[in-house]
Structure 1
């Protein structure tokens, strides 16, 4: 039977005996027969409980039915495919193209009682799959399901580890391999297409089966977009054209490390003076406790009242001006919640700007021995008021940046001004929070000068979040929640369209007798020198962790590595500018530039920084050498000048000399060679 092709030359729907196939640019997207249906419908009741950003999510599924019968009806703008099973179970798939020529599938349950949908996309056993937001445990997602729900990333994130078990026992906080601050219903296939879902409901993308990918939606409709590319670079350019791209970073970001310091104005000054006196390149001070502190059993917490605390930080306004004159920025902290026992929450409550409970009263969330109100960002007046808090209390005060924390805590039982279910808004919330921060910069003319960085995200964060950070890694060597986990996190986020990423040097989470060692801090520093931004964090229990100024040797190490970082400034700026222009991430999987090399598709703990630097961080304790893979090219070892052609290589990897190689043919080879000379001094 001939294919039906109404004006959509890239899309082909071909009826077959009791079924059909749908192809897009010669890629098979859907295959339907009564024996292997591609659409399922059903009904369920979500059972979602949140405790401090950790979610227990179950679906009380009442029905899941395969829609075995399909009728294809072409028209001038596409096709309508009617799926049925009996007289009462039915759904419609609308096939069309958008203005950019992308394939668009609009799937809708026609039975009012049904609020669940499943769509099975055709797959090949050899496919590799990347994306789904920020994934810490896996880079190639093939072979596993990935529920997509923004939450705390979990402590340990591996059900086989003792730390995860301890966290689960304490407060269900251990997490699993798919827990993430930044999920996103977007994936890229090695068939060189991307698939993106417009919805924000709870979803599960299951890549376990060899011949299909099953996308599950806890909603009665879904809009799915596809686009193809001749290579992965073109594909990312097309994806980021759809989702948006990050602006370039402020110039000062490349001028050294941002020191995470707490304790007051003089503590900041003393640490700054000490490090600069010993040759550390410092671009800024990040004092997250600028608004005060609250001590809890978890450790030192910020006071969630977003105003300058004059008692803890006397004369901070004048000190910021002095620091700025010396090329040192001041960064602070804010999140979209306000402490219930402070005046900013009282003001928000009086204006009716907090989300509500079922009885219409202000909803307060327990955040760990204190409560906070949730600013209702769906209320235009509340949104503008909070944006003005950022403008007046942070920007006008003189902050050159801040951590725009959280965003993943929206409870599903709260009630919002826009009338949309909080279950549907939950995933969208971090991107709305990013938009609020972005507009505060844009409307004050500070975009490109002031930087905010976030951990939570979703579709839309590409447009509005100026920098991501990896969240709260353990201060340990674990693969799923330690130093190693940051690399697949950056790579998966880059394949989801967000190309700017960094992490807390040394990690953050300090629980269950964990203590950050000197070796871990130095290895993390080595890694961070080859990312777009260097920033330290004391951790939630600073006294238990080795810090950047714990001894003279550590300070000297930071001096060496910040010199490496600042020397790379012109190269990094070029890579960041390319991300802003085309969406090509700064930290890249190797197959973006070596797609004919099958080995590169399996590498998750090494990356390309820009086009010409290959970085393989040491993420195991007690190592002084490291084995990595080089795709075929002319490579030069950064620290020795030795040349390599490719393959598995083992090199010496002492502290301060992480395994890094550059392309001999790079236009930047002279710059890279200077690093060898600098490190020898």
Structure 2
């Protein structure tokens, strides 16, 4: 750390990189006040801010305090903010913020940038990988349908449900970014934030409160950098071994249907690792489609005999997974218990607070109440783990309303972005306290700072069942890459997508292309979608089912390689799905590739995300590459290869210790 003083300002440097420069003419920090409004409709937020003041903190005073430097900022003789700057034992730079004015609730800070710099991260971003040239509001919410204000689907979703979304909407925002200059910058805040990367010489970080601190560090390589980030936020536990044995089939409709689908899939050569029944606790039909009965216990009416069948399936090598979320259905048993014990968020006057989830209402379990957390962990331990579930989708947690009252007295506006971390922690601890970390997993779509150490698998959320770049298959790839840089290196998506609205229906070709893609990810799991009858399913016809069989065998054959990559994610924070520049830092083109990825160190995957394509153009960094399906050798550069269904563009490094495994993929697929 070095603070260089000038006549009219100062510059803070760390590891020879300018972090920020402050001067009378160009202050780095602005403070002010504002009134935000949050209009939530079924997890979608219309957020507006009325800025009452924005003052540049031109005046400054520097005081040395041993290994720490204190800088007081203000306006015309009034002190507003104290910065305490120091290095941690690990060598990271910390800038602590201490507000001296109670009325200040808006913060802007300008971090040094260069015109050619590229930046990545900010949680899981699904439209852009390189974030430069855009600003990114950071608020966990429904991600939106279509996510492009210029397309028809988004317009329809906005018009009918206030749910169209935009390029920045995400289930998992995080106020952290990574630069191609091999540094990361994190602003510790749970408030609404907005990171603006549109300026040539600075990145402006905004928060609707005074952040706790800014954290900054730089490394010599990207592998060291993501390891550093993971040391800050934690890493995901390794996947249970059985997850890599095949596909987890998304099935609904009851015990008989489930058993029939498993049997038919196996006869078609599908490697079935598990079956995921999100309706294991019963269903509710709404105009949106088939929804779930949010009272988290087995439904013997829909799944008769499951209490014994679940154990028989496990003995036969098929795990059973279910579903839960952090809300309880009004009038049902869990809601009644939670209300009686005071475990629910309330209105300001102590009255019942109910959230509209689309034609039904639920109470919000108050995760700032320790007793409520222990009770909900008990629900998971008894009703899910005790029943025999080997995993589940831990859904939602984006819906915390900003006007509810919580037991810790903290504003729900400030708790909102932290809710996914609290929810992940409850799921993880329930599994951990049962001694089942090596055998049970959960997956979730919502995220926030610090949930990495609790979230076993990140799931990409609700993609549309169409080919749109912003919200279809393609969007999963930048989502996985950006989240991986934040320490969430085990990522997957619904095979086939989910959102089936406004005329969208999953086609056979899309289903097969998504199967191809997910065979080269850390976890392979299908979903019927919100309107299963409108969608082509994995077993709609024999051709699709046999296709799933081939690609599930490919996925299972990759187990030794994937297992090593997953272990590396847990031990060193290096994601399983990696941007090309992580191992090819000198390749300038690699920094602009957002629809390809390295799977581990030795495999490049370039999924086909357009319909009716028979060949595909992709980029290979300079190395000795082998096309997995033809065996043809390549050195690097832009190449075009045949890409029929069942042969997604996949290349492996000739020098890989797993080269024999990769070379056998065509034979595995045909077996």
The TM-score, its normalising length taken from structure 1, stands at 0.98
| Residue in structure 2 matched with residue 539 of structure 1 by the alignment | 529
Do structure 1's residue 493 and structure 2's residue 465 form an aligned pair?
A: no
1:268-291 Cα distance to aligned partner (Å, 9 max, x none): 001001000111110111000011
Deviation at 1:679, TM superposition (A): 3.3
- The one of 404, 407, 411 equivalent to 1:421 is 411
Deviation at 1:100, TM superposition (A): 2.0
Q: How does 1:34-49 map to 2 (within 5 A)?
A: 34-49=24-39
Do structure 1's residue 631 and structure 2's residue 604 form an aligned pair?
A: no
| Residue in structure 2 matched with residue 148 of structure 1 by the alignment | 138
Structure 2 Cα separation of the partners of residues 574 and 678 of structure 1? 20
| Residue in structure 1 matched with residue 494 of structure 2 by the alignment | 504
Structure 1 Cα separation of the partners of residues 181 and 562 of structure 2? 30
Deviation at 1:639, TM superposition (A): 0.1
Do structure 1's residue 230 and structure 2's residue 201 form an aligned pair?
A: no
- The one of 287, 290, 297 equivalent to 1:297 is 287
Structure 2 Cα separation of the partners of residues 107 and 123 of structure 1? 21
Q: How does 1:60-71 map to 2 (within 5 A)?
A: 60-71=50-61
Q: What SS class does the counterpart of residue 127 from structure 1 fall into?
A: coil
Would you say the 8 A contact 1:18–1:69 is kept in 2?
A: no
| Residue in structure 2 matched with residue 408 of structure 1 by the alignment | 398
Do structure 1's residue 30 and structure 2's residue 23 form an aligned pair?
A: no
Deviation at 1:418, TM superposition (A): 0.9
Do structure 1's residue 370 and structure 2's residue 375 form an aligned pair?
A: no
Would you say the 8 A contact 1:109–1:221 is kept in 2?
A: no
Structure 1 Cα separation of the partners of residues 27 and 566 of structure 2? 44
| Residue in structure 2 matched with residue 611 of structure 1 by the alignment | 601
| Residue in structure 1 matched with residue 162 of structure 2 by the alignment | 172
Would you say the 8 A contact 2:72–2:79 is kept in 1?
A: no
| Residue in structure 2 matched with residue 399 of structure 1 by the alignment | 389
Deviation at 1:33, TM superposition (A): 1.4
- The one of 93, 99, 112 equivalent to 1:109 is 99
Structure 2 Cα separation of the partners of residues 314 and 498 of structure 1? 37
1:488-547 Cα distance to aligned partner (Å, 9 max, x none): 000000011110100000000000011000000000000000000110000000000000
Structure 2 Cα separation of the partners of residues 680 and 392 of structure 1? 43
Structure 1: state its 5+ residue gaps: 1-10
| Residue in structure 1 matched with residue 148 of structure 2 by the alignment | 158
| Residue in structure 2 matched with residue 477 of structure 1 by the alignment | 467
| Residue in structure 2 matched with residue 665 of structure 1 by the alignment | 655
Structure 2: state its 5+ residue gaps: none
Q: How does 1:96-495 map to 2 (within 5 A)?
A: 96-495=86-485
Structure 1 Cα separation of the partners of residues 627 and 669 of structure 2? 13
Would you say the 8 A contact 2:138–2:173 is kept in 1?
A: yes
| Residue in structure 2 matched with residue 6 of structure 1 by the alignment | none
Structure 1 Cα separation of the partners of residues 28 and 622 of structure 2? 41
| Residue in structure 1 matched with residue 646 of structure 2 by the alignment | 656
Q: What SS class does the counterpart of residue 619 from structure 1 fall into?
A: coil
1:289-337 Cα distance to aligned partner (Å, 9 max, x none): 0110000000000100001001000000110111001100000000000
Q: What SS class does the counterpart of residue 464 from structure 1 fall into?
A: coil
Structure 2 Cα separation of the partners of residues 168 and 65 of structure 1? 36
Would you say the 8 A contact 1:22–1:29 is kept in 2?
A: yes
- The one of 645, 662, 666 equivalent to 1:676 is 666
Q: What SS class does the counterpart of residue 104 from structure 1 fall into?
A: strand
| Residue in structure 2 matched with residue 3 of structure 1 by the alignment | none
Structure 1 Cα separation of the partners of residues 639 and 350 of structure 2? 64
Structure 2 Cα separation of the partners of residues 253 and 504 of structure 1? 15
Deviation at 1:429, TM superposition (A): 0.3
Q: How does 1:10-21 map to 2 (within 5 A)?
A: 11-21=1-11
Would you say the 8 A contact 1:255–1:281 is kept in 2?
A: yes
Structure 2 Cα separation of the partners of residues 612 and 242 of structure 1? 27
Structure 1 Cα separation of the partners of residues 549 and 182 of structure 2? 43
Deviation at 1:89, TM superposition (A): 6.0
Structure 1 Cα separation of the partners of residues 330 and 157 of structure 2? 27
Structure 2 Cα separation of the partners of residues 397 and 678 of structure 1? 36
Q: What SS class does the counterpart of residue 135 from structure 1 fall into?
A: coil
- The one of 511, 515, 518 equivalent to 1:521 is 511
Structure 2 Cα separation of the partners of residues 676 and 394 of structure 1? 39
Q: What SS class does the counterpart of residue 462 from structure 1 fall into?
A: coil
Structure 1 Cα separation of the partners of residues 60 and 349 of structure 2? 45
1:72-118 Cα distance to aligned partner (Å, 9 max, x none): 21120311112122244622211112232210011233222211111
1:431-489 Cα distance to aligned partner (Å, 9 max, x none): 10000000000000011100100000111211001001000000000000000000000
Structure 2 Cα separation of the partners of residues 264 and 134 of structure 1? 34
Q: Show structure 1 runs of 4+ deviating over 3 A.
A: none
Would you say the 8 A contact 1:124–1:211 is kept in 2?
A: yes
1:373-393 Cα distance to aligned partner (Å, 9 max, x none): 000011011100000000000
Q: How does 1:582-621 map to 2 (within 5 A)?
A: 582-621=572-611
Structure 1 Cα separation of the partners of residues 318 and 667 of structure 2? 27
* Range that drifts further, 75-84 or 554-563: 75-84
Q: What SS class does the counterpart of residue 672 from structure 1 fall into?
A: helix
Structure 2 Cα separation of the partners of residues 112 and 428 of structure 1? 23
Do structure 1's residue 568 and structure 2's residue 554 form an aligned pair?
A: no
Q: What SS class does the counterpart of residue 126 from structure 1 fall into?
A: coil
Query: How many residues are matched?
Result: 671
Structure 1 Cα separation of the partners of residues 669 and 94 of structure 2? 53
Q: What SS class does the counterpart of residue 655 from structure 1 fall into?
A: coil
Q: What SS class does the counterpart of residue 259 from structure 2 fall into?
A: helix
Would you say the 8 A contact 1:133–1:186 is kept in 2?
A: yes
Structure 1 Cα separation of the partners of residues 358 and 574 of structure 2? 39
Q: What SS class does the counterpart of residue 414 from structure 2 fall into?
A: helix
